[in-house]
Structure 1
């Protein structure tokens, strides 16, 4: 399976930029009753975004568990995204989507701290450079 990204793949992911730009958009809620193993319920729109990441080749096969330190460094130091390339963005999306399986609420945290928005803004800047 090729990890090559086409302009169409980028454009399709960038359609979700507005989803993360609106502060009042509720992308998840937390179920408190009954007590659940995975209390995070993501919105249909957010789930469409996750599906699109797979469809558009932004979730790739690589050893993401050994890349967690790098992925976390982009969260704690968002300025690092200023020089991130497409491959790095693929690794970030993959790491975060996979991490949610082991750490419920990981994606909600990235919604709240603006990390998804920052990644998409970097992808938009890369896309402008490819025109």
Structure 2
């Protein structure tokens, strides 16, 4: 994970071919019907019950690997960033209007929150917000690239 104050410089240094690894996931996400399922909850031979857990689809794992490989999930106090929670909770949020840095901060909230609330990441894929965030990163990146080319 990258420090927040280094994020902007890092994002501008990512090659287009590397960005395309993330953007190549979009059609696969769009085609996926189920992003995970609950496993466990079974009674074990000793009488105890195995705790239920979310088993995510391969596309979710591909996404996690890709954002880790691109190092685009910044370190910051995500739990206290109320604006980020508001953006994610509001179904009317237009992610296309947000900066790539803000979108990456939202990724931090989603990925980190999943560690404390198993299934949160899967729910963000299921409700379409993760797809919207990735698409917004793509749009933002393309607009930034065009501005850089015009200079």
Which TM-score tier does this pair reach, normalised by the shorter chain? 0.7 to 0.9
Distance 1:87 1:128 in 2: 14
User: What's the C-alpha RMSD, in Å, of the aligned pairs?
Assistant: 2.0
Distance 1:78 1:53 in 2: 25
Distance 2:122 2:28 in 1: 14
Distance 2:95 2:134 in 1: 10
Match of residue 35, structure 2, among 15, 21, 27: 27
Deviation string for 1:108-128 (max 9, x for gaps)? Answer: 211111000110111121122
TM-score normalised by the chain length of structure 1: 0.84
Contact (CA 8 Å) 1:58, 1:89: kept in 2 or not?
Answer: no
Q: Is 1:123 aligned to residue 123 of structure 2?
A: no
Distance 1:22 1:88 in 2: 26
In the other structure, the counterpart of 1:74 is 87
Structure 1 spans left out of the alignment, 5+ residues: none
TM-score normalised by the chain length of structure 2: 0.75
Q: Is 1:53 aligned to residue 61 of structure 2?
A: no
